[in-house]
Amino acid sequence: MADMREFVIVALAILGCICLVQGEIVKGSVPLNSGVFDKIISKHKVALVKFDETYPYGEKQDEFKKVAEASTSQPDLLIAEVQTADYGDKDNADLAEKFGVKKENHPVYKLFIQGRDDPVDYKGNSKNADDIKKFIMKESGLWLGLPACLEEFDKIVKDFFAANGNKRNDILAKAEEVAKSFTTEDQKTSAEIYIKTMKKIIEKGDNFIESEITRVEKLRDGKVSDRKKEQLGSRLNILTSFQMSLKDEL
């Protein structure tokens, strides 16, 4: 019996070593190294690269996985990971040095966009996948789909900001017709937020978006229930879609 326990312990230890050597496969992400970095990045319109330690784990890595998985529906976006080491062969240390990545700042996100000489640094919260996705969308214009957002309505919002004067009322009417086709409560709730926001913009002007984002952020960061915080978060995501579409029109 003792021999069997010993065998199991050794087997588990060996299995753990194998997993460590192989590393973890992240769905939607590709690992990059010095030999292929430029070749792969140059072939994509947009690439988000995470520079991190060897074998990253924990909450920040979990959020990265969410971003990577969300990217699978967006063909113009590459999500990649560069794992660096400051020991042994110092894998990818040259890439870290090239882009000014320091170990104490891991994980470091950089967004590479075709046509721009330098990558855009992400300076937000690495423990929030939605914030990282917002960053990608704001900088690249690609749609990733934040919770509560509707792709069809995000397209309508782009048309809404491109329209002038009374034509915005026509776009609003179109949105109200589209909303009637939704069957789930989540879709209906989101559509209602889109429609109310468009009405407020028609009434108060485009500046309503920024002031409303500020107001909702203050409410969310205050003393509210988890349920209310979730609702406010959904509203913020939709407002962010408006904000990005407005930015594209400026």
Q: Does residue 124 sit in helix, strand or coil? A: coil
CA angle 113, 118, 120 (to 5 degrees): 65
- Fold classification of 151-249 (topology level): Endoplasmic reticulum protein erp29 (1.20.1150)
- pLDDT value of residue 123: 95
| Domain layout of the chain by residue ranges | 25-140, 151-249
- Fold classification of 25-140 (topology level): Glutaredoxin (3.40.30)
pLDDT band at 18 (very low <50, low <70, confident <90, very high): very low
User: Is the separation of the CB atoms in 79 and 48 below 8 Å?
Assistant: yes
* pLDDT, tens digit, 9 for 90 and up, residues 27-54: 999 999 999 999 999 999 999 999 999 9
What is the bridge-based pairing of β-strands 46-53 and 77-84?
A: parallel
- pLDDT value of residue 250: 62
Mean pLDDT of 116-141: 92
- Tokens, residue 31: 């690992």
pLDDT band at 80 (very low <50, low <70, confident <90, very high): very high
* pLDDT, tens digit, 9 for 90 and up, residues 147-196: 899 989 999 999 999 998 889 999 999 999 999 999 999 999 999 999 99
What is the bridge-based pairing of β-strands 46-53 and 120-121?
A: unpaired
Task: Between 17 and 215, name the one with better pLDDT.
Answer: 215
**What is the C-alpha radius of gyration for the chain, rounded to an integer number of angstroms?**
22
Q: Does residue 109 sit in helix, strand or coil? A: strand
Cα separation, 161 vs 174, in Å, equals 14
CA angle 232, 215, 141 (to 5 degrees): 70
CA dist 95 → 88, 118, 208 (Å): 16, 14, 43
* pLDDT, tens digit, 9 for 90 and up, residues 217-241: 999 989 999 999 999 999 999 998 8
CA angle 211, 212, 215 (to 5 degrees): 90
pLDDT of 21 strictly over 70: no
Cα separation, 227 vs 150, in Å, equals 21
pLDDT of 206 strictly over 80: yes
SS (H, E, C) 41-101: HCCCCEEEEEEEECCCCCHHHHHHHHHHHHHHHCCCEEEEEEEECCCCCCCCHHHHHHCCC
* pLDDT, tens digit, 9 for 90 and up, residues 102-128: 999 999 999 999 999 999 999 999 999
